[in-house]
Structure 1
């Protein structure tokens, strides 16, 4: 087992898994607080179109470097989608309708563009459900860079971002730049999705952002404690799922999400039984 840890591929897989597990719940905490848990799904499908556009650009430039264009393309499209959703939401547009349009339009555009770029079904499935076994050092550096941005902004501006997500009217009365901070949350969500894409895929990325937060909320009520606990839970879930798939031929993204659902159900059952026992007769 120690010899396995010396394998460069295993090191890359575990490093990316750890970074994703820690960073995804940071933004997920804000999304849960804003009751926009499904925002990740809408942005994720736009990111798929960005992956496909990157593939198409790589195909036109140099076929050997085709995959290297995928993450930059996903970042551009995901950020653009997040900014569009936030601007329309701030102007009173129905957020669920906007996300539905981006949801279907993004995935349909992604499938068409990948086909035009000469990608295979395996390439498509890799981005839909994750393909951490193919992670390169280039992917690692992208993950480290974007993960650092998420942690620095998400934790550094925690007080201001909490005020905006908890009570926007109160935040406005205190003089906080509400629109700018809302945009920061949306952009952080886009970056988180592109960071997590290799591990769980665009179809399951929202689950990795939300499930650790949902589990943490069953245990603690404090916002800061919830975020810290969710980061720890996300790291444990991701590393456990990735480690199991090193020995079993399973999809790491699907396994991580299933583990999260099982833990959520178990913790929910335990807390419910505990409250029942403590309740007065």
Structure 2
């Protein structure tokens, strides 16, 4: 029987936990990089046979109690636990019709009121639905694509634009995986997934790792062709009025080189906006 998404996720998470992290003794030769199946079963209080059936896709309906125990045994964070429950059919999923691509006018006005803070709104498929002028300047006018996943994996310029491209790529796939778990049947999410699996071997490799986590406060380093290198802090917010949308806002530390570069970028954006 083909392995389920749930089984594949359990397998990859098990490989990422060492016996030492699980407070288990290390005995004999180990053929796996992380925990053995029977060790996960022991830690979560289920039979080894039942856990094997979960990984092999022969059991697909574990209870919430079992999932809680597995999440603890596999040391999942809150995003990982949510993804586990969704894969088992016990977490909230968004209907395709509920994914809203219209950005509220009040949010658009707020973004336009931040001339020195790049801000974008994107949906579960990472399509950028709205951006302010300085965000357009930061992302080179979105010449390649307004889909962030396509920018990262199919735009050759992305590898120099993002100074830490490999980290950005890894985090992007983990976020996309979490979004896919929330709306696996949404046609646009599935379309972007299919395109990236067809077009990018690096995306495909990261996708097989089954990492799932949302965006958090982080620093991103860019090299912009007009203003040079700049380091920005990125904060992400759920748009409560439109489930599935996220607002990302960038800012630079005061009096830092990034702040100076961002101010110059803002001036260039304002000049471009005023140009006939």
Q: TM-score range by the shorter chain?
A: under 0.3
User: TM-score with structure 1 length normalisation?
Assistant: 0.24
Q: Which has the larger radius of gyration?
A: 2
Q: Which has the higher helix share?
A: 1
User: TM-score with structure 2 length normalisation?
Assistant: 0.25
Q: Which has the higher strand share?
A: 2
